[in-house]
Amino acid sequence: MAQLDLTKEEALSMNILTWDDASIGRAVKKLGLDFYQETNGRSALMYSTCAIMLIAEAVKQGAFASVIDVDHSNRPVNPGKWRITLERIGD
């Protein structure tokens, strides 16, 4: 499995675009391997990607928590109303 070894500056940086090419390559390889592993019969890739996108948006907005209400009751197939809650719990 790929090993992700970052410099102190890279580890502290919230912006992957400031990392050197080799570190970005290792991060992408590690994330790719992690995403394709199955977790409890669910696609780890789909869940992880969605979570990362939501977290990245919250971080970009400077939020430590976010609540997203989704109502698709007007759709032909009604999945119901959902609440997605994000909360930063550590560094």
Side chain identity at residue 91, one-letter code: D
What are 2's strand-pairing partners?
none
Tens digits of per-residue pLDDT, 32-48?
A: 777 666 655 566 667 77
Provide the 8-state DSSP code for 18.
G
Contact 27, 51 (CB under 8 A): no
Q: Can you give the pLDDT at residue 88?
A: 92
Pick the closest to residue 80 from 90, 72, 88 (CA basis): 72
Domain coordinates in residue numbering, the chain: 21-88
The span from the CA of 48 to the CA of 33, in Å, is 12
pTM above 0.75, yes or no: no
Phi, psi dihedral angles at 87 (to 5 degrees)? -145, 125
